[in-house]
Chains A and B, each alone.
Chain A
């Protein structure tokens, strides 16, 4: 009878046992006590491992919080609830944590932006388009419409609308900021959720050119800046809002020919409806 099978079995089993015994001994000698707070904080986190906090993942963030090198409200995804849960474990005050939401600073969709005379047949991805002569729109500053931000969003909070411009679903958005990094044109910016006035354009061209390339571009006329008492500054043919000085009532929204500066939500209308 052939005993090879039995011999093989016992040999490998025996070796395995010996090594297991050695490792068990080593584990006794070399065990590292881990701070039990780390596991608790880790449990309170969303566990999406999105990296929005700037750490390698939720566990790494928990380690950093316990060691004191990350703030208890450092998780942008969990928002106020998570911040308070973590603060409770750590025994500190969470402070006010205003939710941050990405805003898309371009409204030049397929019907507003002027297309080039050539067609783009490459991969539908903003990073590819921005390398290959900058996509098919004439504007070199605006949204490419390839949807890299939609792909980057781990929470499905970003959708392309019918016009080819991404939109944020605020209920689903956690403020992790992955879309900001994904955009090669840098038109997505994080803002506190209660900000209402934005300049929905990033075009730095001179007035004539920007008028030619897009129907909703900021022309750089500066009419909003002149009336705003420092709330809007003109930088290189583009209005930039200084939110600390901004007074919404001083901005002449109806004077902006292209509607580049606009309110996100028309609060006064809502009040009438209610």
Chain B
């Protein structure tokens, strides 16, 4: 039960993108097609789950016993950067078109605050190992959900008659704002 609460808390109620406003860069950048948006979500989820596992291990088995928790930021960034490199190689090998569709936003997961935020939340909330993993999966699912919904809306939006001044980034930001408002409906259900 406790784990379910953590999962849905991270995925829906306190959605990383739409209520913490973390990871906006790929959320805006790769959300013009559902297929590439979904893949971006999966890549981010993969990095999030691995980050949750590795950063929990490093923090609790190395940093805390040696009194080095002031190094947490550096250590987490190191973990994230390495994992993103790995995911990048993996995607380049498995699917060249996907690699090209994700473009610059794939290496940019490295500096994505959603991933670092995840690692820091785990420390802040003192999660156990299993809780951290579930939190990572939930956060990734939430990110995938948000970016896929956004891509769906933007695919429809391509057919709409948007005033010239609002075309491109402005209307995207407005849509993102309205989407975040919609997710406010879940606020407070799980603290």
Interface residues in chain A, defined as those with a beta carbon under 8 Å from any beta carbon in chain B: 4, 7-8, 11-12, 15-16, 19-20, 22-23, 26-27, 30-32, 131
Contacts and interface: CB of A to CB of B under 8 A. Distances in A.
Contacts of B68: 4, 7-8, 11
Interface in B42-84: 58, 62-63, 66-68, 71, 74-75, 78-79, 82
A15 B89 contact: no
Interface residues of B, number: 20
B89 A27 contact: yes
Contact of B78 (A4, A7, A12, A131): A12
A8 B79 CA distance: 16
16 contacts: A7-B66, A11-B62, A15-B78, A16-B78, A19-B78, A19-B79, A19-B82, A23-B82, A23-B85, A23-B86, A26-B89, A30-B89, A30-B90, A30-B92, A31-B89, A32-B96
Contacts of B93: 30-32
Contacts of B67: 4
Contacts of B92: 30, 32
A7 B68 CA distance: 8
Given A15-B78, A16-B78, A26-B89, 5 more contacts: A8-B68, A8-B71, A11-B62, A19-B79, A31-B89
A30 B67 CA distance: 37
A32 B89 CA distance: 8
Interface string B82-105: 100110011011001000000000
A15 B86 contact: no
